[in-house]
Amino acid sequence: MRTNIKILFCSLVVFTLVTSCKTPSDALESTDYTLDVNFDDSYRSDLIEGYRYVRLETNENCRLYDYNKIKVNDSYISFEAQDQLFLFNQKGEFISKLSRKGRGKGEYIGITDYEVTSNNIYILSWVQQALLKYDMNGRFIDKYDLHEYYASFKIVDNTHVFLCSSRSNSSNKNFALYDLNKRSVVYSCDYFDRNEGVMFASFNDFIFSKDSVCYVTHPFDYMVYKLTPNEFSPLYNLSFNTKNQLPTNYEEIPVFDLNEQMRNKDVVKAIQLVYETSNGCYFGYKLHDEYGDTSYLTRIYNDGTQKTIRLLMSDFDKQFPYLNQPLGLYHDELVSVMSPYGIVYFETHNDIDTFTSQGYTEEDNPIVFFHKLKQ
């Protein structure tokens, strides 16, 4: 069985039986959109309503020299760095740190993914094929043996989680619903016949979630799927008017090889986010341009018109000076992070001093930005 993983892009209901959910062919047809990638900076005020920021507390117990992931919920802003979790409240005040790396009872070998709820912390360990549960003070509560390799997960409710293999385990099903009480998979879907053996460092299959509904996608797949405890169906089928296009047989090409073939070509590598409003829908995606793999945001209105912006700080905008590549979506806000070095350098070279005038230095923790999308 193949277990070596390549890292790329550096950057409910209680079920009584294990069942397979609907495949896309069983479900309703998707909505098709062709997205215009030609951006216009003047559209920023049409898509972005405003922004706020959270300046994180800095002390010897929570110094973030680097980080791998950030997640935001109504209670916490959390970072994973060097296989440790750092928790801050919504004001940026440091709350606690989880540091339980090891091979003993209640310890994890590494953090592949994590989730923070109001009461607990869950750590997914690829190597251990396990999900570990802790309280908010880092005390070990339980370990769930998954008996398979998984790359990411999403909490569904108090007793269920969705697991995702990134098509890189022996189950041949990309998504699985795991029952914490029964300690077993009760539901699985999204069949694959080729173990990719690839995990993309900057990609997350879960691009939207609310309650028991998730929107999911795959690298180099322009389909957005709806995932629930009893359904897996295509929701949006996207295409892009880029100069280069994916090969017509891209589904037959291993993802690692496809990534190599598309290197430095202006193709969309991944869908990053979907946000629906009463007036249309936002789609965020990674497109390779002259700056590398860059985040773009397209809004499609109900009448079919589109507006696209590029989320890049080199496109300086006095109204939204810190608009940067988003790392996620929190309610209706794009979440991004700027390093202290980036803040100081950016303000020095753009004649602004929002933070440096407050004494902010390169020794401080990063700043988290929230840019609100217009409805």
Average pLDDT for the chain: 90
Q: Please say whether the beta carbons of 267 and 245 come within 8 A.
A: yes
Q: How far apart are CA 215 and CA 205, in angstroms?
A: 8
Whole-prediction pTM: 0.90
> Rounded mean pLDDT of 341-352?
93
Which pLDDT does position 30 carry in this prediction?
85
Q: State both tokens at 51.
A: 């922004």
- Is residue 100 predicted with pLDDT exceeding 50? yes
Nearest to residue 168, comparing CAs of 278, 7, 370, 364? 7
Where do we find the tokens 């277990």?
A: 3
Extract the runs of DSSP E, i.e. beta strands, from 321-362.
328-330, 333-338
Partnered with residue 89 across adjacent β-strands are: 76
Contact 246, 259 (CB under 8 A): no
* Residue from 132, 327, 301, 303 nearest 311 by CA: 327
Compute φ and ψ for 64, nearest 5 degrees: -100, 90
Query: What is the average pLDDT across 337-366?
Result: 94
- Tens of pLDDT, residue by residue over 191-249, are 999 998 877 766 789 999 988 999 999 999 999 999 999 999 999 999 999 999 999 99
User: Are 367 and 358 spatial neighbours (Cβ–Cβ below 8 Å)?
Assistant: no
Structure tokens at 85: 């979790």
Query: Tokens standing for 343?
Result: 């803040």
Say if CB 183 and CB 197 are below 8 A apart.
Answer: no
Give me the count of residues in the chain.
375
Pairing of β 367-373 and β 333-338:
antiparallel
Smallest CA-to-CA distance from 235 within 222, 219, 245, 248 is with 222
Ordered structural domains, the chain, with CATH: 6-373 (2.120.10.30)
pLDDT tens digit sequence for 260-318? 999 999 999 999 999 999 999 999 999 999 888 999 999 999 999 999 999 987 777 88
Longest dimension (CA), the chain: 63
| Closest alpha carbon to 160 in 78, 228, 69 | 228
Percent of the chain at pLDDT > 90 equals: 82
- Residue 98 tokens read as 């989880």
